[in-house]
A and B are shown apart, each in its own frame.
Chain A
Amino acid sequence: MLDFVQQLVSGIALGCVYGLIALGFVLVYKATEVVNFAQGDLMMLGGFFAFTFIGMLGLNYWIGFAGAVAAMALFGMLAERLVVRPILGYPQFSIIMATIGLGYFLRSVAGIIWGTDDFKIETPFSQGVLRIGSLVLAYDKLSVIAATIILCALLYLFFNRTTLGTAMRASSENMLAAYYMGIPVKRVVSIVWAISAAVATCAGVLLAPITFIHSNVGLVLGLKAFPAAVLGGFGSIPGAVVGGVLIGVIESMAGFYLPQGWKDVAPYIVLLAVLLLKPEGLFGLHVRKKV
């Protein structure tokens, strides 16, 4: 029973990271119908920025964190401007390929700049555990869970209570109609990319104490975040986080209770099953076909 709870907590913590990456997918997909295959690599880059600020320049953890988030938000806008905006409105396949190319590029450049070793960021949560009876929970895992809850609440408030959030929801429904209503769609899309890169950075920094940061971490985790986003219905913000947590828990349980090898494929088997039985996901909207 104790093992089960331990596995559950570490699964949820890992799942929150998947959820945060998936959240980035969903934000961009909702606003522009672009699936950003480089989302995991944005996370990796955010982690490296934070490592540079905190580990190499010796800044305070929180200042370094904020600096990394700000830098990545700018980078997200830049990537949107250079790669995505010129091809908005073209078939989805081209856009997917462009983001795959972007991911390739970011991975290699990060490898050239920071090398291919594993890096670790010292955080206030790195050491220390919370003991409840005989249950031992590490702070770094709890911090991921707490941060995910806070981020989700903030994003929820942003999308439902602010004018900019409403504008984003409008342009996600129909870009052309939103444009006719006077919404500056281009700027909105740019801000969406900034937010999604910032969320990815949070994921990267929170992840750093759990798994180390290296140049391929984005590919590995980004591909795990796809099942999370699909499970949640690719377009639903709470769905992404719930999907992420489910995938994390499934992976962690499969690693503990099933023979070796199942851990890595379990998320994909679940994904295929979901796609077969309920392609719109757990929280997805069922859209009628129009001709």
Chain B
Amino acid sequence: MNSYRAHRPTLRDDCGMQLQRAWQDGLWANIINMAKSKAKLSKDPYFEAAWQAVDKILDGKVVVKDPATADLYDWALVSTGMTSDQYPKYIGAMRVNVVKANPKAKEIAKTSFFSCVANADWEHAQQIAAVMDKSFPAERSFHFRNVITTYIYADFSSEPLPPRAIATQDEMLLWLNMVIKETKGNDLVKCLTDPNYNPLSALKDGFETICSTMMDQLKELGAWDEFYTICKAIFEKGVAFWLVEEHEAKEKAKRDAQPKEEKSVEQKAAELMAAMNRLNITSPEELLKARLAAESIATRTIVKDWKMWENFIMAASKQPKAQWALAEVEKFFTRITEFGPQHAIYRTQLDMAKLIIVFETPSETQEEIFTLAARVEGLRDYIDSHYRDMSCFDNLRRFFGLLSPDQAKNLVVRLPRLYSDSEESQFRRIMLQTFHLRLRYFFTTSSNCYTPSSTSRGATCGICLSDAVPERCDTCLKEIAKECIWIWKAGLKDKALLEQLKGEGVSPYTDLTIIGSVCLLKLAGLDGLWGRNDNSPLAWADRKRVMQAILWMDAQHHSQSIKRQDLSVLLVKLYVLIGAASHAKSIWDSLEVKNVTLNCLGPLFADRLGTMAPGLWQNHAHNSTPTSQYLYYYRSAINKNIPNSLRLSFDHGSYASILGNLVTKTKHKQSCTLVMALVDHYRGIRSVDGEVMQGTWQDELAQHIKPGMRLYDTTDYGPFPNIEANPDRPIQDFLSIGPGLSEDRAHLSLLSERFLSLIAYKEPKDYKPGNADLAKDRDRNVVIPACQDMAEWMATLLNGADIRDKLTLPEVEYYTMVQALASYVGLSLSASKGDGLDRLVESIRCQLVNQVTRLTERRKTASEADVTRVDVFHDVSALHANGMLRESVLVTVHMIRYLDRARGAEPKSPMPKWMMEHIRILREATRTANRRLKEYIERLSTTVNPAGWADRIAEWAFGDLANGTRAVSDDADETYENSDTDMLLYKAIGPKRNFTMAIDLIVHSWAEAARGWSKVKLID
């Protein structure tokens, strides 16, 4: 594989100069002619067409021993579309024969081996590896290739594993992976704690990764007693190693260590002696011995690792004498932290560990009140010490969720005392104020902070004691929003503080903007239900609050000296939500999401783009769509990058990496992001072309995905601010057009694409079957079972209990309709009567009518005076819904055309009347839908283009303040009490702060969306 697939294979020497030259120059017509004549003369299969020749070889059971022939056929067959299923039969077996015939030829064996690996033919890769192992007994790499391929092949075929010897950490990791895979429950615990090899033995070998992996497994198995015992031994040894190390590097330790209590000389000598006894050494110099040095490094490293600490606390808390065990653990941590470089993270780690111990210490051993006070006190102290850390809040989230309403209120009330002193620095004040508001928002979104009540809203907020809906106290949201704006507005004037914040690398004003804006969005009614009963989550939202939130975030986005990616990502989502896709794209592009990050971050922007922004697909012929780079990425990753990495892993003996590469390949081939990119890519193309030229289903990236196959959603929501208390309702859920990627949605979308490809397929123009009726019969024999199969799979998915949580309403309608269309095709082509099919046709018609109705109904419900404002917002936020309607029409029209082709022009068996009637009904429904879509597109173009939009949006956001009917107050008269949110925000981001720029960009983006839609081709 070092040269495998990278170049054309080298031709055999006896090919002659002319053929060699033509081969080098890629003159395929010449090559074919010359090969033909040589085949005729020599009868040598080498010169025959590859597929034909290999078929002959298989039929005649000929054993190919010539490596050049194998190389050539491999190259030719893989290049002409041989699937991975065919490889073992056609090439894999041939590769084994070549290696067996040339057992001492290393390069031939290597090429053959990597060819099998690249094509996932583990059966023959293992056979070749076994031959190599036997032929070159002195070569460890061949030995381990045999081991790994045996393991991989055995893993796939569930056969027992052979025992093998192990030396390096990577070999050990491979062994450990096998053991973990093959052994379960108590047997695995026994294995991991075996006196002959356990985590302590791994450390003796200096294998920190092995030790860590074994400890992780013990944790996973819940073997807490074993974990505690081994961990204690590791920490005892760790302290001993550190003591000896400290002695050896006394001067360095003094320089690095924080000032601490000096111990007497005698005490230190005694400690050192005890440490040496623990390590079975007689002098510190013995640590220089390689093996002991490796153990020392590995042990000293692992006892400083946070994961080990966290699990050690957990194990101690599960001991019978938990309080005593936890105290012991804390002593270890305090001791360990004194050694080595004093990085800030270790101080944070120690404080965090102490806090966990406070929360984990069993309450029955203490006075309840004392425990509660200790918890709040511990949190307050931690915040006091670590408020500068950007991760301070995230570190403490786990504890906030454990507080009762009283404790939460206690903390909220007491926190301002940390910064209320007038002596406090401005920096400390703003950091703690921001923390306080974030904390209050967190509790507002936490169900723990509400107590049930008999009021109309059903609960009482534990913080402000108002009536509230659980996880949503409007009083708190309003107060938090106002306070955020107040502090943010004041901060704009303090240039010295802004400079200091920049120097410290923190941006509390961005946090204030995010918290305040999210409060406004929640007050606007965005609640994470994705417009389950409408076109968009914005359908019934208070647009004033939505626009205020967007304009505020935009103002901070442009003013911030430290670029915060969480704010950028929020803005991208919001701009997509209001239909300003091109503006969202410009912000998204500035984040430079590309290459490997497409798989995990791409969906944050590109999901559903193909339905809502046809303008971005205008240049699809030049491979310049938002999804082109995804497809390029996946093709390279699957066909080139991962096979290359597999080869490198084998070459370098990185056995654990081989397994990692295989997992990576599977996750790429079965990625939900890949499906999203494929489907949106072809949907976008269809929106501008109208016709189905080449569909998702013809793409090699989709062909291997079968219904029911496991698909992987690897979307990374890490870039979003983590401010919500309820992990099941994160912030991105209520700022998106619809739910994120899921296996079910991916399968539904692929099945729909498959249906479309099937019914829209047209034979090439030069295809003239001798017997047209027979050809049609054959076609029907393929289409009918395929449609029935698809309909069945789609029905299963659509009947899933939580399917409505995974789709937008327009998607539910579209997939339901496609399922009905597939059923109809499957049934109608084999039916003699149409009686049972009327219901299906009616359901398809209803789905179309429902979509069309929602497209227009809002115009009827809005008051006359408000109609323009409501309509435009309604129209731009419903782009996705209209995109799905366009797809619904398109697939229905293609089905009608297919029925026409399949049953239309048959003199012997003309289309039955009932089918003609069904087609008439559906045709009328699609034409009505197209008319409405055309009206929608025209309305979009005429309403978003006229001048004066900037004023209108300003008025949406700030009402009478923007149109001048309410006077803007003077700053000098302003107090927190006498001001309101609208006034504060208008003065902070209003015309004087140039918010018209943001508004202009929104209007420009809407105009672009309208232009894109005006080029959409609707087919009848």
Q: Do A and B come together as binding partners?
A: no
Q: Interface on A for B, CB 8 Å cutoff?
A: none
Which residues of chain B have a CB within 8 Å of any CB of chain A?
none
